[in-house]
Structure 1
Amino acid sequence: MPNVYDRLAALGITLPKAPPPVANFETHRITGQLLFLSGQGPTEPDGRQHRGKVGGTVDRHDAYRHARLTGINLIAVMQEALGDLNRITGIVKLLGMVNAVPEFEHHPAVINGCSDLFVELFGPEIGRHARSAVGMGSLPGQITVEIEAVVEFAR
């Protein structure tokens, strides 16, 4: 597998600073060789968040890009937690939540924005994962997506 930092550069991705927790919780927790990541949202480096209802004011293609941005924010937390992204041996599981109108049916297509990024960055052996993609009546601040992850790493 190529160096993860070389892949980030090839994809034109600059990692933002990992966001701090916004309430009484941690952005991540390590137990054994598993890194549990709290939910992240589609926050731009300048702090602006993408908001709205997918299938209403936000189309699924924009929401896909929001999920990809959320994946970048998750990677920033991985970097902060592990110090070296090359230590990651597997993206174990994602839970992707989409703030959607009730009739919206394409939740998996939205969360593919994050899943596709992880496979592009880490390769299929490490980047493919188990996943749930679900619709929500609302999300904090009316953000379009929130994704949490479980990651395996080498000590």
Structure 2
Amino acid sequence: MTASRVEARLAELGLTLPEVAAPLASYVPAVRTGRYVYTAGQLPLVNGSLPATGKVGSEVSPEQAKELAARCALNGLAAVKSVCGDLDRVARVVKVVGFIASAPHFTGQPGVLNGASELLGEVFGDAGVHARSAVGVSVLPIDAPIEVELQVELTD
């Protein structure tokens, strides 16, 4: 079986689509309704563990958080694939929502979420351009620094 165009592009970027992260509570990683897929909030898990914990602007640098945001997006793509079967079916990324656990003085949430947005742009080109919200919060599950949701439209 040949890899999809999207997965081939990920490989060009030195990335591999991970296994879908197991839910931490009573929900599913993604839901498809009609031509749309909505993911649950994706943490920057790598092999089931967080590479960093804490607040952005204190325990986690903005640069590291930006890298973690890209990991969240990659995990989100795995969740999308789990319900649509092939990422080549993604017509466009519609919206990205990022929650950034922020130190009280930290106001750089948009720059952190650029990690997810830039990855999606590199993978999907113009179809990766999306609306988004970057929200600072006091704490996230398991002390994750960032959580990202994706909403994508499928071709069929």
One-letter amino acid matched to 2:146: V
Deviations 1:46-102 (A, max 9, x none): x22121110001110000011011111111111111111000001001110000111
Counterpart Cα distance in 2 of 1:3 and 1:69: 20
Equivalent in the alignment of 1:62: 64
| Percentage of pairs with the same residue | 38
TM-score relative to the length of structure 1:
0.94
Q: CA deviation at 1:15?
A: 1.1
Is 1:134 the counterpart of 2:135 in the alignment? yes
Gaps of 5+ in 2: none
- Tell me, in whole angstroms, the C-alpha distance in 2 between the residues paired with 1:48 and 1:30: 26
State the distance in 2 between where 1:105 and 1:82 align. 36
TM-score by length of 2: 0.94
Per-residue deviation, residues 26-51 of structure 1 (Å, max 9, x unmatched):
11111110101100011012x22121
Q: Which amino acid aligns with 2:105?
A: E
Q: How many residues align?
A: 152
Q: Aligned equivalents of 1:116 and 1:13: distance in 2?
A: 14
| Amino acid in structure 2 at the alignment position of 1:42 | P
Structure 1 runs of 4+ with >4 Å offset: none
Give the residue type in structure 1 aligned to 2:99: M
Q: Would the aligned equivalents of 2:69 and 2:115 in 1 still touch at CA under 8 Å?
A: yes
The 5 A counterparts of 1:56-95 are 56-95=58-97
1:133 Cα offset (Å):
0.2
Inter-partner Cα distance in structure 1 for 2:6 and 2:27:
28
Q: CA RMSD in A?
A: 1.1
The alpha-carbon deviation at position 25 of structure 1 amounts to 1.1
- Residue 151 (structure 1) aligns with: 152
Q: List alignment gaps of at least 5 residues for structure 1.
A: none
Question: How far apart are the structure 2 equivalents of 1:78 and 1:32?
Answer: 14
**Cα distance in 2 between the residues matched to 1:38 and 1:144:** 16
Shift of 1:7: 0.6
Query: For 1:5 and 1:140, how far apart are their aligned partners in 2?
Result: 29
Q: Distance in 1 between matches of 2:120 and 2:131?
A: 12
SS in structure 2 opposite 1:40? coil
